[in-house]
Structure 1
Amino acid sequence: MPSPRHPNKPLRSLLAEARWTQGSLARAVNIVAAEVGLELDYDRTAVAHWLSGTQPHPPVPELVAEALTRRLERPVTASVAGFGGAADPAVPARAQPYRPGELLKACGGAPEGQLRPPGAPDSGTGTGTGTETALMRSAVRFYSACFNAHGGGTARSALAAYLADDVLPRLRAPQPEPEHRSLLVEASRLSFLLARMYEDSGAQGLAQRHFLTALSLADASGDRVARAVVLRGLSAQGLALGHHRASLRAAEAAAEAARGEAGPAGTFLLAQLAVAQAACGLRREALGSLARAERAMAADGPERSPAGPFDTYSRAALEYQSAETLGKAGDTAGAHAAMNRSLAHRPAEDHRGLALSYARRAEMLVGAGHVEEACASWRAFLDHYPHLTSGAATAAVTRSRTLLIPFRHVPAAAALLNRLSPVAAGGKRH
């Protein structure tokens, strides 16, 4: 006989404390699920079943707990929410929820005295010259190029295996102090790239976990710029998920960690700060940060040979951030011009950057009523899409169809919708 169900009193109590209806909790769970690539469509009836004692299948208890954690602004576990039992080992790891609280915690800083100022002697940003450091730098260049060319679903498993099987043993082996610090920086960069790959694939919880691993490695290396770079990545992820204030806090912490840094690193950090400020309605501050980013790009930085992906920041990337900043600040014309400049600077092999930039430009154009120009931009997006295994690109396909349907009577839009249908039917490209 099945064991009798008992009402879930802890969940009912938490629901009352949150001042949520059953429908409100259902919608919040759907949002958390979407952040980890799960498509759930719960409504109040599902919550009613949980309250009556029904145990949802994993990972739903963790998603419920995370939704309540965000609402109550204190930690809530699945057990506290009345969902007992051990975690199901068959549940895919990518269902790990994203936790905004971890983003704020990361902004707290490394232990006092652990980090050296930017450019200090023995910094991990390029002083190591040993064979193992050189090998890891080559890996950073390789996996970065794979990500830019083909998206987060390409070489992700290989990078995860490389970190576990090759990088970790090297970090544990005895090394001279300068070499060990350089290895830690390169390991942080590889973890950062793995986080970007998971983020691009829609596995936001796993992406956050690898960003935090990258942050720990950067802190252990003692390099402030390495720490700032990871905080910037955490900020961008949080902003994309709608956590604007937490994202701004991380962007501010990143800029503070590498204060005075010019050249590529300064540009990289200030560009994200500008976008986060604009998203929070701080228009004047955002435009000021954008101007500082431009000045940092114009400044002469130390030359590195050969330059790696973390030693450079492209004009195309800065113009993309400029477009996002200006758009959020209300300067539509300026945003369009910046996005056009960004596309003009993208190299042909940057399929991911080109695809997402064309898609973003199309969304901006259709929002301004320029339907035929938007369709031309979406056609360019589709030219690059076959090269990608990218959840972000798949999401752009979905958005394009939604935005085009109201204009299906326009011949260009109708033709594009016909072209998009088989692409969408092909399923997710993670």
Structure 2
Amino acid sequence: MISTRGTRHCFFIGLAMKRLAALASRLDCGEPTRAVAILHRAETATEKAESQAKAFGSYDPSALAYHEGQVRHALGDRTAAVTALQESGRLRESVYRRTRVRYGALLAERKLELGRLDEACADWHQVLDDYPHVQSGRCDDRVQEMLRLIRPHRGTAAARLLEQRARDVVRART
């Protein structure tokens, strides 16, 4: 087995992401300090590994930003969570449509939690642009969740337009 700093960094990043995902689901059990420490270690390892990426590959920066968003949200820092999810979307390769649908919908949900309805609707419209091109139960779930979440906001033109478009897109798929 060849052991190099680059491969060790990539290995650590992968482990750190698994630990972050596990901690994000348990943050209500007194783990927030540990989660932030792991997040910082993963970021540092990513920076070190990127310099060796050509030789050894690297962890996807959009995935790291996504996990940061999940941890920040679980810690209650919803604004930082939205910022991280936006960065994740910016860094994601355009060929990953299914991921764009799922995580774009999550970003819209997080923005709605912050009361940023117009931004959430804009993000959901982007989700609907990609949705017809994917076959995924998880994506179907995200669109159904969007319809549920937007229902109370039907009094606004943005929500009504989004709801009608979503219903049309869903109907066209069946």
Give the % identical residues: 28
Retained in 1: the 8 A contact 2:132–2:173?
A: no
Letter in 1 for 2:157: P
- Partner SS for 2:49: coil
**Equivalent residue number for residue 110 of structure 2:** 364
1:379 to 121, 125, 138: 125
Question: 1:271, 1:322 within 8 Å by CA — same for their partners in 2?
Answer: no
Does 1:298 pair with 2:47? yes
Equivalent-residue separation in structure 1 for 2:108 and 2:73 (angstroms)? 13
Q: Distance in 2 between matches of 1:373 and 1:274?
A: 28
Among 83, 88, 104, the alignment partner of 1:337 is: 83
2:163 to 417, 422, 428: 417
Q: Which has the higher contact order (CA 8 A, sep 6+)?
A: 2
User: Quick one: distance in 2 between partners of 1:344 and 1:414?
Assistant: 27
Alignment of 1:96-175 (within 5 A): 120-121=1-2
Deviation, structure 1 residue 401: 0.2
Q: Does 1:283 align with 2:32?
A: yes
1:412 CA displacement: 0.2
Q: C-alpha offsets along residues 375-426 of structure 1, whole Å, 9 cap, x if unaligned?
A: 0000011111122111111111100000000001111000000001123335
Q: Give the root-mean-square deviation of aligned CA atoms.
A: 2.1
Q: Does the Cα contact within 8 Å between 2:20 and 2:35 map onto a contact in 1?
A: yes
Q: 1:327 aligns with which of 38, 62, 73?
A: 73
Alpha-carbon distance, 1:275 to partner: 2.8
Q: TM-score, normalised by structure 2?
A: 0.86
**How many pairs were matched up?**
167
Report the TM-score, using the length of structure 1 for normalisation. Answer: 0.37
**Aligned counterparts of 1:421 and 1:271: Cα–Cα separation in 2:** 36
User: Aligned match of 1:388 in 101, 120, 134?
Assistant: 134
Cα distance in 2 for residues equivalent to 1:365 and 1:262: 36
Partner of 1:350: 96
Counterpart of 1:362, as a letter, is: A
The amino acid across from 1:390 in the alignment is S
In structure 2, distance between residues paired with 1:304 and 1:363 = 36
Give CA-to-partner distance per residue, 1:259-286, whole Å, 9 cap, x none: xx74333212212312321321211111
Aligned-residue offset at 1:317: 0.9
Q: What is the SS of the residue equivalent to 1:396?
A: helix
Q: Distance in 2 between matches of 1:358 and 1:393?
A: 10
Q: CA deviation at 1:300?
A: 3.2
| 1:263 is aligned to 2:9 | yes
Question: Which protein is bigger by CA-based radius of gyration?
Answer: 1
In terms of fraction of residues, the more helix-rich structure is 2
Superposed CA offset, 1:185-239 (max 9, x none)? xxxxxxxxxxxxxxxxxxxxxxxxxxxxxxxxxxxxxxxxxxxxxxxxxxxxxxx
Query: Structure 2, unaligned stretches of length 5 or more?
Result: none
CA distance in 1, matches of 2:33, 2:173: 42
